[in-house]
């Protein structure tokens, strides 16, 4: 097993996850099987209870694991299906060690950070690195490890010590450390001192940089790169420049141009590995398709989409939603132009308190070609989302509701189509007169972590739904499989009235009692899904749900559906879609 460790210095949030994913992609293009592990030093067991405005989105894995958003990057770049154990946290490690101590595994010994915590970290990495995560079902060849935060943080010290030991444990030629640092530009001058100090601190902690990836706004001058190499005791060729570029999907191309793959081949002695010719060809084809897809075409027509949400102050709260929209826009040969609208700004209360903000928000919404309402929790902003859904329904504007966004569409229909003026969700009003959305019976209101309906679930398209645009996007199949994360669901007692009013619940769970998909028949595209299909969207294989929405806003939905139906007769489809570009 080969390992690529990606660590960071100076500041966090400078793109370690993208560099880790890009490194994995380049290795995958050689025919190697790649997996990934993210280390988050916080004490939480998982990301499920973290606030989106503080930490960004919670990415849901196939097995229901609630993880850091970087695992989404790994899955999107590398086309993997990771599991809960691919995200290591301090909480998980300490919990595992304490449970072993209580069982008596360390009987008679003092349990300490070194060696017990550090050994547990190393054992976890080696065990998880061997788990198959792609369609082949075979053990990976390379594991990408990203260490979250920055080297020097108090909370990451046990992980740094464990990884220092791990380098010698796996032996020479089996681990490469890429250290990501930030080079600020102040009054036009490229400052190398922060990187020098970061590398010095990294070495004093025990880690050794094999490659230094310098994040910066522009390509560094050669003299700056030479200064970093000289000051950090590395060769000039070991310093990479990762400048700001048009799209993060071009980062692999940027790194390839600087010889990253060649350096990984040498350091990991990859030429000694035997790779089947079929996998080598598959990797080469992947690289050609990737370049064809991500290289921007000049003068692309924009597609204007309004995102009406609760957490727009931090765009990373909707990272997978944004990426799914980007994937679909690339497939439709359009440039995504996203208008961020705070749902509260659409409400009548804002008209009274801040008319300028109110009218600006409505102006953004009304000029958009489509409207998406993503997931969220709590009642703040929901009245504004309901207004957005009503506008999209009445004005025949493509609408996509995700999780809460689907429930919002149901609430809007209850209020304006069924005449239930007080229709709402139990989440917002426990004593609601018309609770068209209710708490799921099997849920827990006492324990918050890991108690939602999580992971991949099967949705069954109902008889008589052959007209459905969404079903056609899934290849006219009988089922769709997407990942879920919710505590509330449509109230079955109101389904009949809602359907009489015009809503069509075309997708349900295996019991037939839980509503999974709602769609309007006489509408260009009005769809609500209880699932989060953005989590399975890939750069080369967009989510069918998002693809249909974006295609409807650009006027090419019929063409997309036709191509999907043609594919069905010639190739294996993943959720009804394979990567075709036009």
477-499 burial, b at 16+ Cβ within 10 Å, e below that, comes to beebbbbbbbbbbbbeebbebbe
Sheet with strand 453-461: strands edge to edge:
335-342, 302-309, 370-373, 399-402, 526-529, 515-519, 504-508, 453-461, 479-486
| Residues annotated catalytic, as ranges | 403, 532, 534
384-394 burial, b at 16+ Cβ within 10 Å, e below that, comes to bbbbbbbbbbe
Alpha-carbon dihedral sign for residues 373, 376, 380, 383 = positive
Whether the link from the prior residue into 60 is cis, omega within 30° of 0, is no
CB 406 within 8 A of CB 395: no
Complete DSSP assignment for 243-271: E--S-GGGHHHHHHHTTHHHHHHHHHTGG
**How many Cβ atoms are within 10 Å of 243's Cβ, its own excluded?**
14
Taking the C-alpha atoms of 365, 367, 371 and 376 in order, what is their torsion angle to the nearest 10 degrees? -30
Taking the C-alpha atoms of 242, 243, 247 and 248 in order, what is their torsion angle to the nearest 10 degrees? 20
Maximal CA-CA distance, the chain: 74
- DSSP E strands in 141-174: the ranges are 142-147
**Spatial CA neighbour of 487 closest among 404, 365, 410:** 404
**Spatial CA neighbour of 39 closest among 118, 138, 142:** 118
Distance CA 51, CA 49 (A): 7
**Spatial CA neighbour of 305 closest among 345, 346, 365:** 365
| Residue in this structure with the two tokens 């994040």, named with its chain if needed | 215
Q: Which helix (H) or strand (E) holds 280?
A: helix 277-294
Cα-atom radius of gyration of the chain, to the nearest Å? 25
Between the two ends of the chain, the Cα-to-Cα distance in Å is: 39
State the alpha helices, DSSP H only, in 29-117. 52-55, 70-78, 90-103
């Amino acid at each position: 097993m080969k390992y690529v460790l990606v660590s960071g210095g100076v500041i966090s949030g400078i793109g370690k996850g993208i560099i880790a994913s890009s490194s994995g992609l380049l290795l995958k293009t050689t025919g190697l099987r790649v997996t990934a592990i993210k280390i988050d030093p916080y004490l939480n067991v998982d990301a499920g209870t973290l606030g989106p405005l503080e930490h960004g989105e919670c990415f849901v894995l196939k097995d229901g694991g609630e993880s850091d958003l970087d695992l989404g990057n790994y899955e999107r770049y590398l086309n993997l299906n990771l599991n809960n154990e691919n995200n290591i946290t301090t909480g998980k490690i300490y919990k595992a060690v304490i449970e072993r101590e209580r069982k008596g595994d360390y009987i008679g010994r003092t349990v300490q950070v070194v060696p017990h915590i550090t050994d547990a970290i190393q054992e976890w990495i080696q065990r998880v690195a061997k788990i198959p995560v792609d369609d082949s079902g075979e053990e990976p060849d390379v594991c990408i490890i990203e260490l979250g935060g920055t080297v020097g943080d108090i909370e990451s010290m046990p992980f740094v010590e464990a990884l220092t030991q791990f380098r010698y444990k796996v032996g020479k030629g089996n681990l490469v450390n890429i250290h990501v640092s930030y080079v600020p530009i102040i009054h036009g001058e490229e400052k190398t001192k922060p990187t020098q100090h970061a590398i010095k601190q990294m070495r004093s902690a025990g880690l050794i940089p094999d490659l230094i990836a310098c994040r910066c706004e522009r390509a560094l001058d050669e003299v700056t790169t030479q200064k970093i190499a000289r000051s950090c005791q590395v060769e000039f060729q070991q310093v990479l420049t990762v400048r700001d570029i048009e799209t993060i999907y071009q980062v692999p191309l940027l790194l390839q141009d600087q010889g990253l793959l060649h350096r990984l081949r040498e350091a990991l002695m990859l030429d000694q590995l035997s790779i089947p010719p079929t996998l080598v060809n598959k990797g080469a084809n992947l690289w050609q398709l990737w370049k064809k897809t991500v290289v921007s075409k000049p003068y692309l027509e924009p597609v204007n989409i309004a995102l009406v949400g609760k957490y727009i102050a931090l765009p990373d709260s909707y990272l997978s939603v944004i990426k799914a929209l980007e994937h679909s826009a690339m497939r439709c040969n359009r440039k995504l132009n996203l208008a961020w609208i705070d749902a509260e700004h659409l409400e009548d209360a804002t008209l009274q308190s801040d008319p300028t903000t109110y009218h600006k928000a409505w102006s953004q919404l009304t000029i958009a070609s489509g409207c998406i309402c993503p997931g969220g929790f709590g009642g703040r902003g929901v009245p504004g989302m309901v207004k957005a859904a009503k506008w999209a329904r009445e004005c025949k504007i493509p609408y996509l509701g995700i999780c809460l966004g689907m429930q919002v569409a149901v609430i809007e229909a209850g209020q304006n189509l069924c005449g239930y003026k007080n229709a709402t969700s139990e989440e917002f009003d426990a004593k609601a007169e018309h609770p068209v959305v209710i708490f799921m019976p099997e849920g827990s209101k006492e324990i918050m972590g890991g108690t939602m309906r999580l992971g991949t679930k099967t949705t069954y398209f109902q008889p008589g739904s052959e007209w459905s645009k969404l079903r056609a996007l899934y290849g006219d199949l009988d089922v769709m499989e997407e990942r879920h994360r919710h505590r509330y669901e449509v109230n079955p007692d109101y389904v009949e009235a809602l359907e009489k009013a015009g809503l069509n619940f075309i997708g349900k769970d295996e019991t037939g009692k839980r509503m999974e998909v709602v769609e309007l028949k006489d509408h260009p595209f009005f769809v609500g899904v209880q699932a989060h299909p953005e989590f399975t969207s890939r750069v080369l294989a967009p989510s069918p749900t998002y693809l249909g929405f974006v295609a409807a806003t650009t006027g090419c939905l019929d063409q997309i559906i036709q191509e999907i139906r043609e594919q069905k007769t010639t190739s294996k489809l993943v959720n009804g879609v394979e990567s075709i570009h036009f």
